[in-house]
Chains A and B, each alone.
Chain A
């Protein structure tokens, strides 16, 4: 089986064969009952070579409710089975019963570390089906909020990654900085998380007065703190020992396993939807796509740390270029009339009532829209039958797909490194299970 070489990569391309194997692969494909048989006889003292170790679903370092079945030989991990579904929420089913205006409320609860990205993907897909354009200010507000959300999400990663590796003070620092970003979110959207801010047609509200000062404060505050992280972690020998060379992946493997985001970039494959398939106004801002060299956990850590800086760079440019104008489209079909008109116009009242009870009808069709979330490609596949609710709403969660790399990253490693690998994949279980 030949795999075409991606340009500009310098890794052994036959390595993708590793992830294509059916038998003897890194993925443990057994049921609960078979796992018992595989684990051998616990009462037989001679039968101690192989064991099945269960990790999770309630385990402090599995980032929520991820459960792993690890086949171990001594301290070495042979095969792994990620068991998911402990947070399965049926959001795709619920989404079929909500109108397009209510849809962001639903999808925002998927990736709770970066909620605005799910809203953005859903809104962009709806707008594509409707064929409407959003005003430039709405686009730039969306970009501003998404980049700040990426900062918050990567700070959360720094906190949990540090804690998983024993740097507990990192936990405190990461949350402290994230709190600052969340304060700005609360001011803009009214909520710290699950904002329902980006909606089909624009955003829910304009930025509050004085938002420039708040953003500038963040821009002054966070970069020195990131430098502190560098001092604390990047050069620290223990931290490097725990991460370097742990959980290695090649670009060909990552592509075959459909991995996206920092995992793909850590292998040296420069792919970022913001640059390569620009959406919003990302083609008008200047930023770098960061890649790793070895595809190990340390590269993934370093990419996320430096992507935070790149995001802040984008935010700085947004601050200078933010256009004025409407924050949502003036298309009467999707946007309710202004509050003042409802008092003196019967038609406006009916219009308002219809939008919020029945919702607006979306032309028949199906569309797929992808955005670059902090975890990778977040896609929304919408099928409309012409009614006010999506006929089918499917979210391609990057965490769900990236989780498939776990067995391959952990194969042959030590059990103590498993924690580092899980942490560097940075799965958000709400998005995995949906």
Chain B
């Protein structure tokens, strides 16, 4: 590993805490070490839970956290990368060039959290309609009912 990344363990599962600009290099090293598959990419908004205790001392908590799950099938190993992303600059490097399977997952995170993946080939909404406003999985967005938003479908007879 070229850079040292803080490492913790959560319920016996290995967790790494790279900085956003370390993410690509860390993932690249891991892939060269046999982690061929990115199982999942997701994010957590820690707005309503600021005082979390499971971060190592030298990692400062930010509001968003992008979580990348890597898997080395041959060695039966899994590792989780937790990247702290500040709300002022919600950008992390895309892992598409390493793991093309992250394409849809990163789009989902962008859609629901508004975190941009730098270098992603198609950073557009995936689940919500293209003209949707807001990112619903953020904690400052309410769950509650939103009035029906759609344009009248053209009548084609």
Contacts and interface: CB of A to CB of B under 8 A. Distances in A.
B124 interface: yes
16 contacts: A4-B36, A20-B100, A29-B121, A29-B122, A85-B127, A90-B136, A92-B112, A94-B143, A96-B143, A258-B101, A364-B52, A368-B69, A381-B69, A396-B42, A401-B40, A433-B127
A176 interface: no
A27 interface: yes
B69 to A, nearest CB: 6
Contacts of A22: 96, 121
A123 B22 CA distance: 34
B44 A256 contact: no
A26 B76 CA distance: 31
Contacts of A96: 143
A250 to B, nearest CB: 13
A282 interface: no
Contacts of B136: 90, 93
Interface of A: 3-4, 6-7, 19-20, 22, 27, 29, 31-32, 84-85, 88, 90, 92-94, 96-97, 128-129, 255-259, 269, 271, 276-277, 364-368, 370, 377, 379, 381, 383, 385, 391-392, 394, 396, 400-401, 403-404, 433-434
B140 interface: no
Given A128-B11, A379-B39, A379-B69, A391 B127 contact: no
A404 B36 contact: no
Contacts of B34: 4
B54 A365 contact: yes
A27 B101 CA distance: 12
Contacts of B108: 400
Given A90-B136, A93-B137, A97-B143, A3 B36 contact: yes
Contacts of B143: 90, 93-94, 96-97
B67 A381 contact: yes
Contacts of A433: 127
Nearest to B125: A85
Contact of B10 (A32, A97, A367, A401): A367
A392 to B, nearest CB: 5
Contact of A256 (B32, B49, B101, B125): B101
B103 interface: yes
B36 A255 contact: yes
A96 B130 CA distance: 25
Contacts of B54: 364-366
B53 A364 contact: yes
Contacts of A364: 52-54
Contacts of A88: 127-128
B39 A256 contact: no
A259 B39 CA distance: 8
B60 interface: no
A76 to B, nearest CB: 23
A368 B71 CA distance: 12
A434 B52 CA distance: 27
Contacts of B125: 85
B104 A404 contact: yes
A367 B39 CA distance: 14
Nearest to A29: B122
B101 A401 contact: yes
Contact of A392 (B44, B103, B127): B44
The 6 closest A-B pairs by CB, nearest first: A258-B101, A29-B122, A85-B127, A385-B49, A257-B101, A396-B40
Contact of B73 (A20, A84, A271, A396): A271
Nearest to A81: B122
A274 to B, nearest CB: 13
B37 A383 contact: no
Interface in B106-139: 108, 112, 121-122, 124-130, 136-137
A367 B100 contact: no
B100 A84 contact: no
A6 B74 contact: yes
Given A256-B100, A401-B105, A367 B11 contact: yes
B127 A6 contact: no
Nearest to A88: B127
A90 B136 CA distance: 8
B104 A400 contact: yes
B136 to A, nearest CB: 6
Nearest to A271: B73
A277 B37 contact: no
A400 B107 CA distance: 12
Contacts of A276: 73, 76
Nearest to B67: A381
A269 B71 CA distance: 15
Contacts of A404: 100-101, 103-104
B40 A257 contact: no
Given A4-B34, A271-B73, A396 B39 contact: yes
Nearest to B105: A401
Nearest to A394: B42
Contacts of A366: 10, 44, 54
B80 interface: yes
Contacts of B40: 258, 379, 381, 394, 396, 401
Nearest to A87: B127
Contacts of B99: 256, 258
Contacts of B10: 365-367
